[in-house]
Amino acid sequence: MPRMTAARAAVEILKREGVDVAFGVPGAAINPFYAALKASGEIRHTLARHVEGASHMAEGYTRAKAGNIGVCIGTSGPAGTDMITGLYSAIADSIPILCITGQAPVAKLHTEDFQAVDIASIAKPVTKAATTVLEAAQVPGVFQQAFHLMRSGRPGPVLIDLPIDVQLTEIEFDPETYEPLAVYKPAATRAQIEKAIGFLLESERPLIVAGGGIINADAAELLVEFAELTNTPVIPTLMGWGIIADDHELSAGMVGVQTSHRYGNANFLESDFVLGIGNRWANRHTGYKLDVYRGERKFVHVDIEPTQIGRIFAPDFGIASDAKVALELFIEVAKELKAAGKLPDRSAWVASTQERKATLQRRTHFDNVPMKPQRVYEEMNRAFGPETRYVTTIGLSQIAGAQMLHVYKPRHWINCGQAGPLGWTTPAALGVATADPQTPVVALSGDYDFQFMLEELAVGAQHKIPYVHVLVNNAYLGLIRQAQIGLDINFQVNLEFENINSPELGVYGVDHVKVVEGLGCKAIRVTDPNELGAAFEQAKKLAAEYQVPVVVEAILERITNIAMSKTADISNVSEFEELATEPGHAPTAIKALKV
């Protein structure tokens, strides 16, 4: 039997589980693992500037392609605690990532040794498993189980903590005989699917709510096929956006109290039956007034996690199943019904959803200087097109982007949904661009999100990871300012100051262009909305030429209130800006953008 260090055995398992990229920051307690990584030579490592950044890079890497498992590595103590935000973000959105940390020697764990912290206990609430390995011979089994857990059922993250002496201990391990454990996923039965379709047949105005579980299952094409077979309009959730193209005749818009379309909410409120697949009825989708969301309509809920069914409200029927398995059966039954002539004609209902889609729009074309954010998204739609992957986290920029951008493919809207940590966008975009360098990546940040982890731009410069980063700057914590309106305050949300080194910026304060250039990247500042298009084109060329991130900073008017519900009620969304009713004020047609 071959002998090797436990650290080398762990690296060999990573390779055989399909890992070829890792993100991290070395340190004394994890250096034996790094030595094994170097000796292997088959796993490319990207050096982050912050361990939290490494965890978000791993998230972005996983989210970009089906089958990816992002890996982040850090040393003992604060490296692990820095990863907690990434683990929380991953478990909240059902994203499998593996965090590996170094640790003090086993004999010192109880002595308050330097940087010795019980990271496994700290990480347990935000992982599917968190383990400090105390016996070197257990390392192969712990890593094998980690990959099994990350892929089985509802996907999610795992943390493995390796004391330095455990890493260095030699064990018997034969990598040539290693095999990954079979993945477990619950599967719907034919009887369950037939009953669910019974609800669909009885309804007159059905909708499918398509969630991120469909993307995790790599089943977007199956969802579209089922929708087309039954002629049922589709409402993607924020995490499911892109499952069906925005310009598809069955795309009925997003629903919610913030990241929603006017026509999406209107279509939903007209429905009488909802089939939810791979979604979890998140509160930004349903609002808190569940009596409005539920109304008199019936619900069927299909989700891979049994405890999600009934968590927010009790559906009329629930099925615990992987989305792909369920959709294969849905299609099988639907084809039989269609062949027998038993599928009802939904053409009038579909036409009504598309009429709302054509008329219930928000205005995006403004020529104001300083510019309104709506114009930025209009120009982004023109410049970046249907092949673009958008990456963003939270704030007014993300909410407005979700209302006004257009997405045409799964995994082309990569959004930190539930956790929403500021600073997530930059490292996540680097992870996304690493996973698929052939697809254009465009990140979207407000100025506060951008400032949180902007040091990670240097990672893009060092490792030649090009992408375009759109930075909308109003020198405000815009979403929090808007939320404070109800309290009649405007407190500690204003970022304005006079920068003595850049007086031309006035109250906008931070000179992002200088900072970005200082980190080895390129930057363009735009103050006139009519110059946005040219700036975006220049950014694409600079990214391709220099192979670095390129930031386009749009200087916005200081205060713009973005449409959302003040009462967390999808029937009562406040429209603060002029709507698209006057000639010349409508947004660029969705269809026209897909050229």
Catalytic residue list: 25, 51, 422, 477, 480
How far apart CA 482 and CA 479 sit, in angstroms, is: 5
How far apart CA 536 and CA 523 sit, in angstroms, is: 11
End-to-end Cα separation, the chain, in angstroms: 59
How remote is the C-alpha of 281 from its chain's centroid? 16
| Angle (CA) 232 236 238, round 5° | 170
Place of tokens 């990434």: 86
Burial class (CB in 10 A: 0-12, 13-18, 19+), 301: buried
How far apart CA 68 and CA 567 sit, in angstroms, is: 39
User: What residues form DSSP beta bridges with 235?
Assistant: 209
User: Which ranges in 340-372 belong to alpha helices (H)?
Assistant: 347-359
How far apart CA 352 and CA 360 sit, in angstroms, is: 12
Instruction: Compute the residue count for the chain.
Output: 595
Contact yes or no for 385/593 (Cβ under 8 A): yes
How far apart CA 43 and CA 72 sit, in angstroms, is: 12
As a dihedral over the C-alpha atoms of residue 422, residue 428, residue 429, residue 432, rounded to 10 degrees, the angle is -160
Residue (of 180, 195, 241, 247) closest to 214 by Cα position: 241
Place of tokens 């089943």: 219
User: Which ranges in 415-525 belong to alpha helices (H)?
Assistant: 425-435, 447-452, 457-463, 478-484, 512-518
Question: What is the helix (H) or strand (E) element at residue 251, kind and residue range?
Answer: none
User: What residues form DSSP beta bridges with 414?
Assistant: 391
Amino acid sitting at position 250:
L
User: Parallel, antiparallel, or unpaired for β 468-473 and 441-446?
Assistant: parallel
How far apart CA 549 and CA 325 sit, in angstroms, is: 39
| Angle (CA) 325 330 335, round 5° | 130
How far apart CA 581 and CA 567 sit, in angstroms, is: 25
How far apart CA 165 and CA 167 sit, in angstroms, is: 5
Place of tokens 């693992």: 33
DSSP state of 76: S
**H/E/C letters for each residue in 464-475?**
CCCCEEEEEECC
Cβ-proximal residues to 574 (8 Å cutoff; 6+ apart), any chain: 561, 563, 564, 565, 566
Burial readout 342-353 (b: 16 or more C-beta within 10 A, e: otherwise): ebeebeebbebb
